[in-house]
Amino acid sequence: MGMKTRTKIKTKSAKQAKPIRLIISENNKITKAISVIFLVLIMFGLFAFIIIGLYRFQLIEFPPFIQNLFFKTSGGGSQKGNDDRNIYEFLQNNSESGTENNKGYSLDITSENIIDAISKTTLPDNLYLEIEANYYDGGSITRTENMSLWKKGDKYKYILNVNSKPEESYINDSKTELTENFITGDKSKKVANPNFSFDNIPHMPNINYYLNLLESGTIENQRIYQNKDSNIAHIKYSIPGLEQWELIDVSLDTGIVESVRCYTSEQNDLYYECTTTIKEAYYDGDERWTAQTSINDSMFEIK
């Protein structure tokens, strides 16, 4: 009887210990699962933080739909929300596509963005430009100016024709400047102005002049047009005190003002338009142009 009683007691103890081991085993599994989940979440958060950091510093790119989904600001503030981003990223991710044969972009952006993009554009070291300007009165052209301009570093040369007749030539070899008037026959040679620059060339629309005008005028519309052939900032602004409206196109590749149209009388009266054709524009060291350029030092020799 005693032996049987002790056997029963052992059997009863074993039956009580089994559920405890199961509970402990189950708790261990739950703890491990929770630990794994937390570890995965921490790793995912760290990975996401690194990816977002690389994106913010423009070291990686996301597809446009992902950018619009996760990074676009709410409401109508898509322009302001991207002011700190590269302007061309902003352009490609938020713009309207062009034609199928010439894929491009067209985008309305803020005045601050357009001025900032233009002011940061660097003028190429070497230029060959053809400029035509027409002055109007009552809808008819009263004066036409054509100018050929060459620039090589600090050296400049231009030839001006007015109403198809040669009027003036100018050469600046960075040390001496020679001006010749074909109408009067006068020639003037003097020491070159050390402060002479692209902005000082007469009859040549330059971006700094228009940037100054933009500060005194009111920008009514500004857009960027970009495709495989061009990268243009188009600006329409008005000068209330003069009752004058101007539309200008500026190349964001070269900083050259490619087109200007000036109106008065509620934009119905065109009185001035100017078009610049860029024949050559390249920076020093660009080997693609070295062999084929028409711009050489002999053009700027003063005899």
76, part of any domain = no
The whole-angstrom separation of Cα 285 and Cα 301 is 22
Mean pLDDT of each 10-residue bin along the chain, 303 residues long: 44 49 65 81 82 69 56 38 41 47 57 76 92 93 96 96 96 96 95 89 82 74 77 84 85 90 82 94 87 91 91
The pLDDT of residue 226 is 77
Q: Is residue 231 part of a domain?
A: yes
Q: Quick check: is 16 in a domain?
A: no
Closest CA to 109 of 253, 219, 223: 223
pLDDT score, position 23: 58
77, part of any domain: no
Confirm whether pTM is higher than 0.85: no
Residue 145 belongs to a domain with what CATH number? Answer: 2.50.20
pLDDT at 92: 47
Burial of 26 (0-12, 13-18, 19+ CB in 10 A): exposed
Domain that holds residue 260: 119-300
219 found inside a domain: yes
Q: In the 8-state DSSP scheme, what is residue 186? A: -
Q: Does some domain include residue 64?
A: no
Q: Is residue 114 part of a domain?
A: no
Which phi and psi (to 5°) does residue 91 adopt?
-60, -50
pLDDT at res. 154:
94
What's the confidence (pLDDT) of residue 218? 79
Q: How many separate domains does the chain show? A: 1
Tell me the HSE value of 154 on the side-chain side, using a 13 A CA sphere: 10
245 occurs within a structural domain: yes
